[in-house]
Chain A
Amino acid sequence: MAAPTLLDRRLLIVTGKGGVGKSTVSAALALLAAREGKRVLVCEVNAQERVAPLLGASLAGARTREAAPRISTVNVTPHDAMREYGIMVLRFRAIYDAVFENRLVRYFLRVVPGLGELVMLGKILYEARSEEEGRPRWDLVIVDAPSTGHAVQLLRVPATLLQTVPAGPLRRDAEWMHAFLVDPARTAVAIVTLPEEMPVNEAIELDQQVRAVLGIHRVALFVNAMPVTRFTPEEAARVAAWADDPPPLGPAAEAARLQALRAQHAARDLARARAALDLPTAVLPLVPTPAWGRSEVERIATAIATFDWSAGPGGGAWLGATGGIGGAARPPEDE
């Protein structure tokens, strides 16, 4: 059997520095998987919900809710995850309510180190492995994970517990969760970054942590908001000389000068990311839009689907037979 491709695992964790477009990439990947006929769940982690609005749907909150055909979203919070988990362990809602809805006990549970992260991660992994009538409830669970430091903190909780917690139910849960996370056939991490100095540095550092601390399989790098190269170096130099001209040429030339400079720096940082990270790398376009919505996410999804993955290290084998996710030739679905 061929190695699983990007969307073929049960759990795909999308992370990166704050503000790089993790939610957008998560939403786009969900659209691609749904186009392949997969049933997808996107989990946001105790966050201001972004994915459902990006797909043109209203907020899901703590309950799994369909945002688009075959795509559901949920915002996982410590409190609701704790309750679900508690009811599962104790089997009886009445006992949970009697003990855990007690205000003081609830507080106590909230402050136990790592418990909030554990139950949130537990909820996500529970969804990822749950089955209905002999088949997975979700073909793919995408985690729109917190930014770098917090993501590592979240994902390493099972390993931390294995080191610190003695035998008991908590440890048993940590064991299966850890096994699920480090299984390359079931779980993978995708890193999102921008073609800018600091985000690339952070992506490199994150990649090292994923390898050294978390031991989770890394599957792809997404370089988001890549400006197009619109002007040749000669043109850029020529245009820059007109930047102080009166309108309309001056402002247009200044805009062009800034665009060319940005594209040049982006190319440099993209090259740096490629050199440092041995990962298939998808470059996503800068979408100049005042507001992000479904059609912008469709554009990103199309860019991912039609991207020539073979340009990056290990790209060809990683793609599977079709030569692209969902088939490179497939046009985007109509709105």
Chain B
Amino acid sequence: MSDVIESLAPRRIAVCVGSGGVGKTTVAAALALSRALSGGRALVCTIDPARRLANALGLASLGNVESRVPQHQFRAAGLEPRGELWAMMLDVKRTWDDLVARHAPDPVRRDRILSNRLYQQMSSALAGSQEYTAMEKLYELATDRDYDVIVLDTPPTAHALDFLEVPDRILDFLGNETARRLLAPALGAGKFGLRLAQLGGGYIARTLARFTGQDALADLGDFLQGFQGMYQGFRERAAAVRALLSRPEVGFVIVASPSAASIEEAVSFHERLRAEAMPIAGVVANRVTPELWPAPTPLPDAADVEAALLARGEPDGALAARLAATLGEHQALAAADRRALERLFALGSTPRAVVPRLETDVHDLAGLARLAVRL
């Protein structure tokens, strides 16, 4: 059962991936907690805008800076960690600003980017911005801090694979050759507040302007021009992040629940990680209905249960019928889950964990510790 924890033990970075609603955030927190309990200095970082991690850790809130889960929280949960548990939530805007500050050649260029309207919108509106900054933050944490393990929760993507594609997309946006070519005549001008008249006025630029309006296009030109000298820095950084993710000290943990959609996502993610030679540390099947009845034996009917109750000296026909019906329903769900998992576990010899649907929601440290035992 502890296959996944064991497989993560020698690694410094764990990245939890999977579709929304599978309990990824809680699994990430449980993995970090497990390391903290056994003496490590563990950090869990979430990028989930719904802020569920703070909730699970019993913290009022999480910010862009790591905060340590206080001892008294552990004591209240009956836990005695030998290590430390830290948690944080990614602030997308701040991380972007830090990136710009790091790569800008001078303060003037930095401020020009920071005050650009498109840039200000980008941190929240650019699809994949969360994923990109998450990777960036992970790199920073992995290189600048001395945690024994960093567990990264990932945003609930509509398509799990977006996560891997996004850095390329963002880089293409920042260093977009098309845009450069379109806006080329103006880019050389080195002025702010470009007007379309300066954009060469080519057919394509004119048509685009019918869409966006002149000023929006000028904003974009200004933005791209601001980024021009910084692009190389971004590109190198992204390459470094990518290299980090392929190192054996990293382990991807694929989290799935036994729904068809979630399993499909998990399978395609697994294939993709394999194809990219990225290290997979394990597959977690979460919220699985446990089997209570051996498969080939026919389920008991109300009379069978009634007889057993009678033998126990507690005759109750009405209760027996409800018990039999409840077991039947339970087993129908268990059978559906088992079939779903067959597909997931046909993936090969990856370490795996099956976490039964826990009797309570995992919403505090004690619950996380119970979950960790199953991993």
Residues of A at under 8 Å CB distance from B?
A: 17-20, 45-48, 50, 86, 89-90, 95, 99, 102, 104-105, 107-108, 110-114, 116-117, 146-150, 152-153, 157, 160, 163-171, 196-199, 201-202, 205-206, 230-231, 235, 238-239, 242, 245, 247-249, 251-256, 258-259, 261-262, 265, 269, 288-291
Contact = CB atoms under 8 A, between A and B. Distances in A.
A19 B327 contact: no
Contact of A259 (B179, B207, B326): B326
A112 B125 CA distance: 10
A261 B49 CA distance: 30
B312 interface: yes
A160 B261 contact: no
B interface majority secondary structure: helix
Interface stretch (B76-84, B138-146, B231-239, B359-367): B359-367
A157 B118 CA distance: 13
Contacts of B331: 255
B315 to A, nearest CB: 13
B198 interface: no
A18 B19 contact: yes
Nearest to A104: B178
Given A146-B158, A147-B21, A256 B126 contact: no
A147 B50 CA distance: 10
Contacts of A262: 359
**5 tightest A-B contacts by CB?**
A168-B213, A18-B20, A19-B21, A18-B21, A248-B300
B363 A102 contact: no
B11 interface: no
B125 A251 contact: no
B115 interface: no
Given A20-B21, A170-B213, A170-B216, A256 B261 contact: no
Interface in B188-229: 203-204, 207-216, 219-220
| Residue among A47, A114, A197, A252 facing the most chain B CB atoms (10 A cut-off) | A252
Q: Which of B50, B178, B181 has its CB near the most chain A CB atoms (within 10 A)?
A: B50
A297 to B, nearest CB: 15
Most buried by A among B20, B26, B122, B173: B20
Nearest to A100: B207
Q: Which has the most chain A C-beta neighbours within 10 Å: B118, B211, B212, B304?
A: B211
B52 A201 contact: yes
A89 B118 contact: no
A197 B126 CA distance: 31
A259 B50 contact: no
Interface residues of B, number: 82
Contact of B213 (A147, A166, A202, A255): A166
A300 to B, nearest CB: 16
Contacts of A107: 172, 176, 178
A265 B261 CA distance: 26
A18 to B, nearest CB: 2
B38 interface: no
B176 A164 contact: no
Contact of A105 (B51, B55, B56, B208): B208
B22 interface: yes
Contact of B176 (A111, A261, A291): A111
17 contacts: A19-B19, A19-B20, A90-B207, A104-B181, A165-B216, A167-B213, A168-B215, A169-B213, A205-B50, A205-B51, A248-B304, A255-B326, A256-B322, A256-B327, A258-B330, A269-B361, A288-B329
Interface in B98-144: 117-118, 120-122, 124-127
B327 A169 contact: no
Interface stretch (B244-252, B333-341, B346-354): B333-341
Given A105-B178, A117-B127, A202 B300 contact: no
Contact of A251 (B55, B56, B293, B359): B293
Interface in B293-325: 293, 297, 300, 304-305, 308-309, 312, 314, 319, 322-324
A230 B262 contact: no
A102 B333 CA distance: 50
A230 B326 contact: yes
Given A149-B156, A197-B361, A166 B215 contact: yes
Contact of A86 (B51, B203, B211): B211
Given A95-B207, A112-B220, A252-B324, A170 B127 contact: no
B121 A164 contact: yes
A46 B308 CA distance: 53
A18 B257 CA distance: 11
Interface string B162-177: 0000000110110011
B329 to A, nearest CB: 4
Nearest to A256: B326
B155 interface: yes
A288 B49 contact: no
B60 interface: no
Contacts of A245: 308, 312
